[in-house]
Every structure is written in structure tokens, then in C-alpha cells.
Amino acid sequence: MIDEIDTLFAGWARADSPGAAVSVIRDGEILLKRGYGMANLDHDVPIAPSSIFHSASVSKQFTAMAVYLLAEEGGLSLDDDVRQYVTEVPDFGMPITLDHLIHHTSGLRDQWELLMLSGWRYSKDLITDEDVLRTIERQRVLNFPPGARFMYCNTGYTLLARVVASISGQSFRRFTSSRIFEPLKMTRTFFRDRHGEVIKGAAYGYHPHEDGFDLAQTNLETVGATSMLTTVEDLARWDENFRSGRVGGRSVFERMHRRGVLSDGSTVPYGGGVGLGTYRGLEIVEHTGGDAGFRSNFMRFPHHGLSVAILSNLSSIEPPALSRRIADICLRSKLEAGRRNDPPTTPRVSDPERLARMAGLYLDPEDGDESLHLHFHDGKLRGGAPVAEQAHELTEMEDGRFRYALYPRTEFVVNEDRTLSAMVDGRFANRFIRSECFSYSPQDLEEFAGIYVSPETVYPYEVVLQKDGLASTALKHPLQPMRPLAKDLFIEGRSRLRFTRDAAGAIRGLLLNTDRLRNVWFERL
């Protein structure tokens, strides 16, 4: 097994490439701990299991643990309104509880998205806790009422760290070190709250470049959602805590592994700082992370004695996929047995003409113009990306549902009114309505050009007309091409821009939506 795992990382195990540190724990014993590639290309420092990496969002489970420890001691209640501790959070007319923050059901807008709209260049410009709080103060409306739905939100975990500091009277770094890391002998783990701090043994982050690699470091002085530095050796000690219960104990562990509950009583696939799901039929507890050139994953199979920690310093490495490949190796017999016991799912022989008729653009106007592109390509239905070659194959099942071949958790159901219902893990996610694609002449595009401002961001958002179409720009950000999707709807990178008109038909502003923002209003000057 060790040889097979080594083979997975062989492409980075070189003296001229960044790479990854890996630890694999099986039944409480470290099966493997390795470093592959270089921690620092400038000085030829190799990666070792003791190398310190920025872990990005893997940090969140430790933030949740800190909150749960205070809750167990009676220092707070998870039903407390966050404004009780952090006065910078606006009053939206309804309470946002600590439980909402933990499970990403608060409705708050994501801090990174708003900061980038306000002119920050993520991981290049320094971002502090104070910057995040000022951004939160400017929010005018929520993405949705608290508890109404699940939407991943880094803002919530920054606020949780502020809550811990407020109640404990210590910095978040000091509290987590004294209450979590030191008792577990995680001697090389801490929340970095000073970006200029010298860290002995730290790996540098890198982006791939046509000539090799570019340095890609973080530039953060904000903690809770991110900024925990750690090693794969220390993550093995964290894994051991779920067996020993030295920090937290059974009651805290139960809280961490309990799914969040929405207002309608349904649950979300997220516990206390960890994602809760399955892989090939086996239950997993997992969190991934990504900032600058760093990528991370910590995944546990709690009922099968396997845990995998991967910390990498190259943005093109995909630790979640590698963790699953390691699980395929280490749990081969269990996975094969599970596959034999799975009920058979027989794909339906689809009518090519019917599949071709389904191809087109679908929008969910009730969810920020969330879009779905379906293509009939090479005799198969493909979905997801705007370009057929980049979209993923869909298989029609016997019950009339379409399921992604590579992502079977996501399905589409064709309704009687010819709309599509998107289902994730059997739970309704979106209702897509077919929409006609739209194109504009250069003359038609002129009316969209102008300057747009939002009370939730600092700097204006400018739409300009170029020779090949519209583009947008904001402070420090280069021009981003805008592609028409439907009437008055454009795509720019990961953003969807819906222009709105007054009674006379003149453009009065736009609504911006992303995966983590809903209906941010920009008024046209």
C-alpha cells in the first residue's frame, strides 16, 4: 500500500517542484508520513512530515471546537445572537445565532467575495480582521433569512473567532493554543495572526507558471475561517483526539458530527467545521482548504479506522481527489464488498432525439440566476459548463432521473412543466427554467456601459464597451470580459450580472450574484 501511495505523488517528488506532505492513519497507527517535493524552491528545502503549511479552511473545525468548549462550560449558548458579542454585525431585523454561523446558514455574505468587489486582491493585498469587520458593517441585506438554507460562508467563522476572543478575554490564537493545541502536543500548530511573523520550517506556496512556478503566499491577519498553520504529524495527533477524547470529549464530538438543521426541519451536509458525507457508500468527515498556493484536505472514515491528511504548497494539486485515491488503496476490500452489496442501478437506454431536445440554457431566477448548461455532444447529454467539451456526462437512470456519472450525488428530474429540479443527496436544490440564449449587436451593448456603485462596497464598478464586447473593472482589478447569457443577464468570471430597468425601460442598476453572494445591488450613476 505504501508503494502505491508513493506512486500517487511521484510527479511532485522532485527537487525542482513544490509538492505535499501526507500522513495516513489506520486503526490509530500512522501507516505513512511522507514529504514529496520542495517546501522552498529558493533555498532547496525539501518537504518533510514536520513542514508547516497554511491549512486554509481546514482551520474551521478547530474554530468550531473552541466555540463548543465554551458552550460546554456555560460561557455561551449556541442560540445566542452574534450581535451580543460582535457589535459590528448590522441589525437585519432577525437574530443570527452562533449555530447559524457554525453551519453556514446565517445568510451573511461571504467576506472574500465582498472584499474583492471592494478592490482587494485576494492573497496579494493584506487583509486584516478589521478589514473584514468594516466589510460586514456595510452589508445592507442578507443572502437569505437566517436558517432558511445552507450557503458556505467564511464570514461566519471569522465572527466565531471574535466571539471566542470576546468571551475568553484572550486572543483567539492564545485560546486555541492553550486549550486545544498544547494539550494535544500539536507543537507546530497555531493560528497565525501576524502576517510578517517569521515561521521556522514553513513551506512557501506556489502557482504553476509556464516557466516553472511563481511564489503565491497568503497575506492575512484574520483568523477563524482560515490562517491555521499546521503539519501532517500534528493532524495525526488531532485525529487521535477523536479516539482519546482528551480535548472536548464525547459531548463535543457529538456536536461536531451533528448536521445543521434548517428552519423547515431538513438538515445540511455540514457539522461543526466539518463536511459530513459519504464516499463510495462509506461515511466520511472531511474539510478541504485553499488559499494562494496552498491546498489541503483532512478526511476521516470514522467507522473504518482510516484518516488521511494532505497539506500541499502547489495550487494545481488536488488533495481531496488524492485523499480518495488513498482511501481506494487502504480500504480496497471494504469498498469492493460495499460495491457488491449496492442495489443495482441500471442506466436507461436514452432516446438521442429526446436528449438533443433537452440541450439548452436553464436558469433559476429564484436563486440568483443560478445557471445550468445542457449539451448534446458525441451522442451524450452533458451538463454544467457553458462549453460542451468541459461539461460532465449525465446518465439517465431507470426512474427518469439524470445523474452525473462522476458526481452521482447530484441529479436532475424532468418535471411535467418541463422545468428541471436539481437534487443533491436527494434534497431539492434548484428549479431550473429553460431560457433562450441572447446575443447583442455592438450598438445594443452601448446602453449597458457606465459606472455602478453599491453601498456594500467601497469602490465603483465600471462596465465598459470594447471592440469585442462588454467588460467590467474595479479598483486594482484588470478588465474582465462579460458574456451575454440571456436578456439583460451577463456572466463575468464566476459572477452573474442581472441588469434592471425602470418603467421607461432605461437601465437603473444591476444585481450581482456569485456562488456565495445573492442580489448585491449596484445603482447606475
pLDDT-based confidence at 368, cuts 50/70/90?
very high
**For residue 122, what pLDDT is reported?**
85
Whether 242 contacts 77, CB under 8 Å: no
Measured distance CA(82)–CA(486) in Å, rounded: 39
Q: Which residues 6+ apart lie within 8 Å of 113 measured at CB?
A: 514, 516, 517
pLDDT-based confidence at 341, cuts 50/70/90?
very low
Q: What is the DSSP string of 325-392?
A: HHHHHHTHHHHHHHHHHSPP-PBP---HHHHHHH-EEEEEGGGTTEEEEEEEETTEEEEESSSGGGSE
Mean pLDDT, range 356-373, rounded to an integer: 92
Strand partners, 249: none
Q: What is the DSSP letter of 106?
A: S
Which H/E stretch holds residue 7? helix 2-8
| Lookup result for grid cell 470594447 | 466
Residue 85 grid coordinates = 458579542
Evaluate if residue 252 carries a pLDDT over 50.
yes
pLDDT-based confidence at 345, cuts 50/70/90?
low
Q: What is the DSSP string of 212-272?
A: EEEE----EE--SSS-EEE-HHHHHHHHHHHHH--SSHHHHHHHHTSPPB-TTS-B-SB-S
Whether 456 contacts 99, CB under 8 Å: no
pTM for this model (two decimals): 0.91
CA torsion angle 109 110 115 118 (round to 10): -30
pLDDT-based confidence at 436, cuts 50/70/90?
confident
Domains contained in the chain, CATH given: 2-108+143-336 (3.40.710.10), 352-435 (2.40.128), 442-524 (2.40.128.50)
**For residue 343, what pLDDT is reported?**
47
**For residue 342, what pLDDT is reported?**
47
pLDDT-based confidence at 281, cuts 50/70/90?
confident
Mean pLDDT, range 83-103, rounded to an integer: 97
* Phi-psi label, residue 474: left if phi above 0, alpha if psi -120 to 50, beta otherwise: beta
Q: In this predicted structure, which of 43-52, 260-269, 399-408 has the lowest mean pLDDT?
A: 399-408
Strand 45-46 relative to strand 20-26: parallel, antiparallel, unpaired?
unpaired
pLDDT-based confidence at 199, cuts 50/70/90?
very high
CA torsion angle 113 116 120 125 (round to 10): 60
Residue 291 grid coordinates = 488559499
Q: In this predicted structure, which of 31-35, 89-93, 440-444 has the lowest mean pLDDT?
A: 440-444
Residue 121, CA atoms < 13 Å, CB-side half-sphere: 9
Mean pLDDT, range 319-325, rounded to an integer: 95
Mean pLDDT, range 327-353, rounded to an integer: 73
Evaluate if residue 404 carries a pLDDT over 80.
yes
Measured distance CA(277)–CA(344) in Å, rounded: 21
Q: In this predicted structure, which of 236-250, 254-268, 410-424 has the lowest mean pLDDT?
A: 410-424
pLDDT-based confidence at 399, cuts 50/70/90?
low
Exposed, middle or buried: residue 301 (CB in 10 Å: 0-12, 13-18, 19+)?
buried
- Give the model confidence (pLDDT) of 485-509 as tens digits: 899 999 998 899 999 999 999 999 9
| Lookup result for grid cell 496552498 | 294
Mean pLDDT, range 112-131, rounded to an integer: 91
pLDDT, greater one: 352 or 89: 89
Measured distance CA(246)–CA(295) in Å, rounded: 28
Q: In this predicted structure, which of 9-23, 86-100, 295-309, 339-353 has the lowest mean pLDDT?
A: 339-353
Whether 52 contacts 202, CB under 8 Å: yes
- Give the model confidence (pLDDT) of 63-83 as tens digits: 999 999 999 999 999 999 999
Mean pLDDT, range 295-304, rounded to an integer: 97
Measured distance CA(234)–CA(236) in Å, rounded: 5
Across 436-514, the runs of DSSP E, i.e. the strands, are 450-453, 461-466, 469-473, 480-481, 483-486, 489-492, 495-501, 507-513
